[in-house]
Structure 1
Amino acid sequence: MSDLTNLDNVLLEENESVAVLTINRPKSMNALNSATLIDIGKALDYVKDHSDSIKVLVVTGAGEKAFVAGADISQMHDMNSLEAAELSKLAHESYGKIENLPQFTIAAVNGYCLGGGLELASSCDMRVGSSKAKFGQPEVTLGIVPGFGGTQRLTRLVGRGKAKEMIATGTMIDATEAFRVGILEEIAEPEDLMSTVQKIASTILKNGLIAVSMAKYVIDRAADLPLDTAIDFETQMWAQTFATEDQKEGMAAFLEKRHAKFPNK
């Protein structure tokens, strides 16, 4: 079992089935160095190991300025190719853990969301942004390409042309544009960001959480399959839900015109 001892760069707080993972380097605008990526991975291991109590994970950044302003340039400046590859692999490992969690994940983007920060947010199931948040993949302005998944996850969110434009220009876009192109699912005023995310989490928690997890799994695993193969996969997962107590309770509640009380079994 994982634990949360000796995590210097992140915070993990639990409250009524919702955990909030906060990147906690506000003096560095929550920039991601190796130690922070390792801490993120450890915290995610804990979340996965406690899926019985943690049902939704929120990812955000400490302070008012940044979600994550990118990877830590002070660490990367003198890296050679081998060291850069190791840092990239470390980020991919941590971000892969987010994508593969059975729990639903929400990025609460409270400020600058650049480079590795946008790549982190893109690893979550959905993104809610502050109206003051800024988004971008500015790696080419540093003479490098995105290395934490940006060429792939951003393309899947916004399409090939828009991803190429954002990456090739290195320019930032605001929350309104991020919503328009599909990076954000919702926008909230800064003071309402966490309450908006909590409302979304509360709505999810009212549903059959086995079904939520399975729906997430089907979407993620079948999205790139041929349609007929993906439909077959969906049918298999759909049929499996009929072996759960949640399905019996959900349909009984509908027929009895009452709110379902899902046992999550």
Structure 2
Amino acid sequence: MYETISTTLTDDILIIAINRPDKMNALNQTVMNELALAVDEVYKKKEIKSAIITGTGEKAFIAGADISEFLELSPEQGAALAKKGHTIFQRIEECPKPIIAAVNGFALGGGCELAMACHFRIASTNAKFGQPEVNLGLIPGYGGTQRLTQLVGKGRALELMMTADMVSAADAHAMGLVNHVVEKEALLDKAKEILQKIHAKAPLAIAGVIKCANAALDGDVDGFALEINEFSSCFATQDLQEGAAAFIQKRKANFTGE
């Protein structure tokens, strides 16, 4: 079905792997188009409860964008390219089902931006992160200036973006860019372990948490008012009735997402 990515559904988790190892999994327009389709699958298919985005091969998660596509672009075409990237990555960020980045190597430029658009990140010990666009006379264009600043703070973000320095997985963990660092062979297992834990919770509540957390970083949305609305909406769900009953009866809840 896909030319530049592969997808595997296992234990209700869709694993989306960028599959251009000979190009360090660089993001070209075919990858972006196919990634958008795979994310649509996560939204639409009931059998998919969550997703992991990772890279194929030993070296890279995604080592950036395919720069050869940039050489002939006009400013107007550059704007269209950035808007397309923003739209796809925002779809990931706003997905009501959890999407984790399993970063298995270099996550540079657009690769770092894609990882940051995911709900959180797990990195292998050999992973490296960076926004080196200034080396090319560019700035991050797929939301990186905003998400990196939100995740690590303005001072660290500006230093990383202006020096184009890469940071190790350990340093990324220390600054809050990634949640966990594990050995490479344990990376997907760790991501699956966390997602299985989330799968046992109420799906509508998980979606509400994602929506409200995103609102905390959106100056155009009253996150407190949204939280009240999402909280109150839970009282119309069967999942709340089941969760409360299970708590009182001291048994495991069986949530249905209704």
TM-score range (shorter-chain normalised) is over 0.9
Question: Contact conserved, 1:34 with 1:90, CA < 8 A, in 2?
Answer: no
The aligned counterpart of 1:242 is: 235
Task: Give the SS at the match of 2:96.
Answer: coil
2:94 and 2:214 in contact (8 A); partners too: no
Q: Is the 8 A contact 1:9 1:36 kept in 2?
A: yes
How do 1:190-229 residues align onto structure 2 when only pairs under 5 Å count?
190-225=184-219, 229=222
Q: Which residue among 32, 36, 51 is the counterpart of 1:57?
A: 51
TM-score (norm 2): 0.96
Q: Is the 8 A contact 1:116 1:148 kept in 2?
A: yes
How many angstroms does 1:35 deviate by?
Answer: 1.3
Q: CA RMSD in A?
A: 1.5
Give distance in 2, aligned partners of 1:32 and 1:233: 35
How far did residue 226 of structure 1 move?
9.2
Partner Cα distance (1:152, 1:223) in 2: 10
Which residue is equivalent to 1:34? 29
Look up the SS of the partner of 1:132 in the other structure.
coil
DSSP-derived class of the 1:22 partner: strand
Encode CA deviations 1:77-103: one digit per residue, 9 max, x unaligned.
Answer: 333323322222221121122112111
State the alpha-carbon separation in 1 of the partners of residues 234 and 195 from structure 2. 22
Structure 2 matches for 1:115-134, cutoff 5 A? 115-134=109-128
SS at structure 2 position matched to 1:144: coil
Selected match of 1:46 from 37, 41, 61:
41
Question: Could you tell me which of 166, 176, 179 is aligned with 1:185?
Answer: 179
Tell me, in whole angstroms, the C-alpha distance in 1 between the residues paired with 2:228 and 2:72.
51
Q: Distance in 1 between matches of 2:71 and 2:170?
A: 33
* Larger deviation, residues 213-222 vs 78-87: 78-87
- Greater Cα shift, 75-84 or 101-110: 75-84
Identity of aligned residues (%): 40
Q: Is the 8 A contact 1:222 1:233 kept in 2?
A: no
Contact 1:38 1:90 in 2 (8 A): no
In 1: Cα distance, 2:154 partner to 2:121 partner: 20
Q: 1:24 to 1:226 in 2, by over 3 A?
A: closer
- Indicate yes or no: 2:157 matched with 1:163: yes
Question: Which runs of structure 2 are paired with 1:248-263 in the superposition (5 Å)?
Answer: 248-263=241-256
For residues 142-180 of structure 1, what are the alpha-carbon distances to aligned partners after superposition, in whole Å with 9 as ceiling and x for unaligned?
Answer: 111111111111111111111100000001000011011
Out of 16, 19, 22, the residue aligned to residue 17 of structure 2 is 22
List alignment gaps of at least 5 residues for structure 1. Answer: none
User: 1:114-166, CA deviations, whole angstroms, 9 ceiling, x for partnerless residues?
Assistant: 00000000100000000110000000011111111111111111111111000
Partner amino acid, structure 2, of 1:254 = F
Aligned to 1:72: 66
Structure 2 gaps of 5+ residues are none
Aligned with 1:138 (options 132, 140, 154): 132
Report the CA distance between 1:44 and its aligned residue: 1.2
Q: Is the 8 A contact 1:41 1:93 kept in 2?
A: no
Residues 222-249 of structure 1: per-residue CA shift (max 9 Å, x gap): 444599x432321221111111111111
Using structure 1 for the length normalisation, give the TM-score: 0.93
